[in-house]
Amino acid sequence: MKNLNLRIYPDDVLRKISKNIEKIDSNIINTVSQMDLLMNENKGIGLAAPQVGISKRFFITKDFQDEDSEKFLVFINPTIKEMYGTIESKEGCLSIPGYYDLIKRHEKILVSYLDQNGKNIEKEFSGMQSIVFQHEFDHLEGILFPDKLPLIRKEIFFKKINKEFKK
C-alpha cells in the first residue's frame, strides 16, 4: 500500500462529499493505522479520510476519555442523531496548518457509527470528544471549520488562507 500524505487546502478532495464504506476490509484497517501515525506526527487530535485523499466516510480521533493512552478511536459511517446546546471552540485543522479561529459547535451530541470491527455503536459525547467528532464529521461533508465563521470573519479568514495556500 502506498504511503498516505496529508492533503492541504485548497486540495479539491477536501470539498468532496464522501461515500459510505460498504465493507470493512484489511485496506481500511491499514489505512486507519497509517492515519494514526500521520495524526501523531503532525500533533493532531483527529484526522478524516478526505484529509489523506480518500473520499470515504471514516475518521479517527484521539480517545479523550483516556488522554494518556496511545489509543485512538475509529468512526466508520458515522451519523449525528441528536445535538444539544452550543459551545465556543477554538479550532485548527491539519489541512489548514497554522490557522486557528473561534467557531460555534454543539455542546453535546448523540452519535452512531461502526467501529473497526464493524460493531454498531451509539454514544453520547460532550467536551473535546464532541467537538472533534463534529469537526471530523464535517470533513466527510466537504466542510472546513472556517466555513462555520460569521460572514465577515469568514471572508477575512479565506482571504488570508487563499493568499498563503495556492493551488
Q: Which of the residues are catalytic? A: 136
Please report how close the Cβ of residue 95 comes to Zn ion at its closest, in angstroms.
5
Count of residues that interact with Zn ion, criterion CB under 5 A: 1
Please report how close the Cβ of residue 136 comes to Zn ion at its closest, in angstroms.
7
CB closer to Zn ion out of 54 and 93: 93
Query: How many whole angstroms separate alpha carbon 142 and alpha carbon 154?
Result: 16
Confirm or reject binding of residue 52 to Zn ion (CB under 5 A).
no
Query: How many whole angstroms separate alpha carbon 60 and alpha carbon 136?
Result: 8
Please report how close the Cβ of residue 21 comes to Zn ion at its closest, in angstroms.
19
CB closer to Zn ion out of 99 and 112: 99
Confirm or reject binding of residue 93 to Zn ion (CB under 5 A).
yes
Considering only the stretches 18-26, 85-93, 98-106, 119-127, report the one whose residues sit in contact with Zn ion under the rule CB under 5 A.
85-93
Whether 165 and 147 have beta carbons less than 8 Å apart is answered as no
CB atoms within 10 A of CB 156: 12
Confirm or reject binding of residue 38 to Zn ion (CB under 5 A).
no
Instruction: Output the nine-digit C-alpha cell for 113.
Output: 457509527
Torsion of CA 145, 151, 156, 162, to 10 degrees: 60
Considering only the stretches 57-65, 93-101, 121-129, 151-159, report the one whose residues sit in contact with Zn ion under the rule CB under 5 A.
93-101
Whether 49 and 31 have beta carbons less than 8 Å apart is answered as yes
CB atoms within 10 A of CB 119: 10
Q: Which residues bind Zn ion (CB under 5 A)?
A: 93
